[in-house]
Amino acid sequence: MEGVDYLADERKKAEFDVNEMKIVWAGSRHNFELSDRISKLVANDPGFSKEGRTMLPRKELFKNTLRKATYAWKRIIELRLSEEEAAKLRHFVDEPAFTDLHWGMFIPAIKGQGTDEQQKKWLPLAYKMQIIGCYAQTELGHGSNVQGLETTATFDPQTDEFVIHSPTLTSSKWWPGGLGKVSTHAVVYARLITNGKDYGINGFIVQLRSLEDHKPLPGVTVGDIGLKFGNGAYNTMDNGVLRFDHVRIPRDQMLMRVSQVTREGKYVQSDVPRQLLYGTMVYVRQTIVSDASNALSRAVCIATRYSAVRRQFGSQNGGQEIQVIDYKTQQNRLFPLLASAYAFRFVGEWLKWLYTDVTQRLQANDFSTLPEAHACTAGLKSLTTTATADGIEECRKLCGGHGYLCSSGLPELFAVYVPACTYEGDNTVLLLQVARFLMKTVSQLGSGKKPVGTIAYMGRIEHLMQCRSDVKQAKDWLKPSAVVEAFEARAARMSVACAQNLSKFDNPEEGFAELAADLAEAAVAHCQLIVVSKFIEKLQQDIPGEGVKQQLEVLCGIYYLFLLHKHQGDFLGTGYITSKQASLANDQLRALYSQLRPNAISLVDAFNYTDHFLDSILGRYDGNVYPKLYEAAWKDPLNQSDIADGFHEYIRPLLKQQLRTARL
């Protein structure tokens, strides 16, 4: 029945002010109002319909994405949307497109690595989309190892140009989004060679296609790399392949903020660190952490609503069966994911602050916080994307069989999301970067250099190496100080153990390679400590709204106690807690599940997702799942006729043959 809210009883159970929680989730009243307005604008515009998207063949799918992206741009201009509003609109259109890379990487690369003059020349064109750009770094042969890239940019002093060339098959650019079929320009990363010397990787702005007829320019070979994982999903994106055959660009198209080449061909390194060449990746990794909370909250919203609608077993005296959300096993799988969505939201907010802070410092030539910013963005990108990808798949399983239908929204969400574990840095490679930072910090302890920021706890290493948990009863695990110390002691002890093992090797690099798995685990422990600490810090702020803070405390408790339970081996093995204390943590976790249960639906309502954005029958706001699933099945192209195409060629002869055999 239309208009009935099947989840109304669940909503009545809420013990907190959902509207106030919506503001906490959005980050501010301004953000809430912005998201609310733009998401409804997109949902109510038929031009942004998602109908039938997963059924389209690649060519049509891609053309449809081009149509939507162009229509979005038209609406942005017509409605005179600000940059912030336009970004929200693209977010709620919810379809990976070339525009993601144009706005998300091409423009930030020019902003971060171009001189003022270069920015003045290129940014206005890019802002008006008079040129469309992508970020061409990865090659067929190398992605993680950026220093191993092979494309060359050789300076020709006679003509004052760089010659961009792909010397081998493996030097072909491979993967850049927006490159395959759309981009007119790219920021290309290539080895800078001048006066016969190789100065390593630098960025260059290279035009790829004609602005008139869109044909590849002479010397440029470019195309799409082919179909990717899942139906629809990331196939709306034209990830591309690109080869250069001695393509010439003017010298001033080398991005020259970090280093320059003079008219005479002299290489000049400015006083900014070379690592700023990697700045665009740091920026994007930071945005990926916030995106993780978007994707996970979406999956959790679907799984939570459906778990309240779905009933199995336990009917007594003809009464209703049990809602699957009431099974403790369902809660133990679902509620930590709900808590993680909130945890990633808050750590994402904090990381955005950290990134803004480091950017301001860099402008003032203060590079001191860059290593920490790199470690935090790399580590948290790795941690949150791994947990989110696994979490979306868990949500699919939490929805039983129906979760496997595309109409649940979960298969497509998963297929679009999983490459986040790989792009912007493979998650293991990034954890090893964090481990390097940790080992460096441990090796400097006692040198007089005081660890600060997220690594400040290492300054209390003597205490953290010998302290023991003083938890005596389950509710002691609700004390923030008890929890933070537990996570600090575990992280510090794992790092120190790695450092001690490393010191047994004559060659530190050999040691690092041999101990890489332990080092990655130490990095995870450090990153989990950051997420837990930032959640606890959030709770120390003034949070208005009846019951809102209490719900967040429950979520925070579930987040850290679930981690403590999952990684019990670390906490016990490093000797900080006893098995009795581990068991008390588990008792407290179960108690928190019971406290969360009546609020579960309202906690996912606080995400404020429209049905258009969720695009899931199982996650519908009104919970009207079964009639809509039934209705959707009949829309499948296979159901356009009672008799299947192919019946006469294949099924009928088979049946006839069986009839003949039966008669024999």
Ligand X SMILES: CCC/C=C/C(=O)SCCNC(=O)CCNC(=O)[C@H](O)C(C)(C)COP(=O)([O-])OP(=O)([O-])OC[C@H]1O[C@@H](n2cnc3c(N)ncnc32)[C@H](O)[C@@H]1OP(=O)([O-])[O-]
Q: Which residues bind ligand FAD (CB under 6 A)?
A: 101, 135-138, 142-144, 175-177, 234, 239, 419, 422-426, 428-429, 432, 516
Please say which residue, 433 or 624, places its beta carbon nearer to ligand FAD. Answer: 433
Among ligand FAD, ligand X, none, partner that 269 touches (CB below 5 to 8 angstroms by kind): none
Among 282, 415, 496, 502, binds ligand X (CB under 6 A): 282
Binding ligand X (rule: CB under 6 A), the pick from 423, 477, 607, 613 is 423
CB-based contact 102:185 (threshold 8 Å): no
Q: Exposure string (b/e) for 323-345, b if CB count within 10 Å is 16 or more?
A: bbbebeebbebbbbbbbbbbbbb
Cβ density class 225-259: b for 16+ within 10 Å, e for less: beeeebebbbbbbbbbbbbbeebebebbbbbbbbb
User: Which of ligand FAD, ligand X, none does residue 428 bind to, with CB < 5 to 8 Å depending on kind?
Assistant: ligand FAD
Q: Which does 281 bind (CB under 5 to 8 A by kind): ligand FAD, ligand X, none?
A: ligand X
From the list ligand FAD, ligand X, none, partner contacted by residue 99 (C-beta under 5 to 8 A by kind): none
Question: Could you give phi then psi for residue 426, rounded to 5 degrees?
Answer: -55, 135
If binding is defined by CB under 6 A, does position 135 make contact with ligand X? yes
By the rule CB under 6 A, 87 interacts with ligand X = no
* 591 is a contact residue toward ligand X (CB under 6 A): no
Q: Minimal distance in Å, beta carbon 259 to ligand X?
A: 14
Residue 571: strand, helix, or coil: helix
Closest by alpha carbon to 451, among 375, 560, 564, 357?
375
d(CA 19, CA 383): 30
Catalytic residue list contains 349: no
The answer to whether the beta carbons of residues 322 and 415 sit under 8 Å apart is no
Residues 39-68 that bind ligand X (CB under 6 A): none
Per the residue annotation, which of 95, 150, 412, 424 is the catalytic one?
424
Residue 180, C-beta contacts closer than 8 angstroms, at least 6 positions apart: 222, 223, 224, 225, 238, 239, 240, 241
Residue 282 binds which one of ligand FAD, ligand X, none, with CB within 5 to 8 A depending on kind? Answer: ligand X
Q: 244 with 216: CB under 8 angstroms?
A: no
- Please identify, among the stretches 366-374, 472-480, 483-491, 622-630, the one whose residues bind ligand X according to the rule CB under 6 A: 366-374
Confirm or reject binding of residue 144 to ligand X (CB under 6 A): yes
Among 113, 222, 128, 218, residue whose Cα is nearest residue 178: 222
Q: How far is the CB of 225 from ligand FAD (least distance, A)?
A: 10
**Coil, helix or strand at residue 429:** helix
Nearest Cα to Cα of residue 336 among 479, 532, 583: 532
Query: Does position 138 bind ligand X by CB under 6 A?
Result: yes
Q: What is the C-alpha to C-alpha distance for residues 428 and 516, in angstroms, rounded to an integer?
A: 10
Pattern 169-208, ligand X, x by CB under 6 A: --------x-------------------------------
Q: How far is the CB of 499 from ligand X (least distance, A)?
A: 15
Member of 206, 220, 281, 529 binding ligand X (CB under 6 A)? 281
Residue 482 is a binding residue for ligand X (CB under 6 A): no
Reduced to 3 states (helix: H, G, I; strand: E, B; else coil), residue 390 is helix
Contacts with ligand X in 95-134 (CB under 6 A)? 100
Q: Which does 147 bind (CB under 5 to 8 A by kind): ligand X, ligand FAD, none?
A: ligand X
Residue 234 interacts, among ligand X, ligand FAD, none and using kind-specific CB cut-offs from 5 to 8 Å, with ligand FAD
610 touches 40 (CB < 8 A): yes
Local structure of residue 642 (DSSP, 8 states): S
**What residues are labeled active site?**
424
- Where on the chain is the footprint of ligand X (CB under 6 A)? 100, 135, 137-138, 143-147, 177, 275, 278, 281-282, 370-371, 374, 423-425, 429, 433, 436
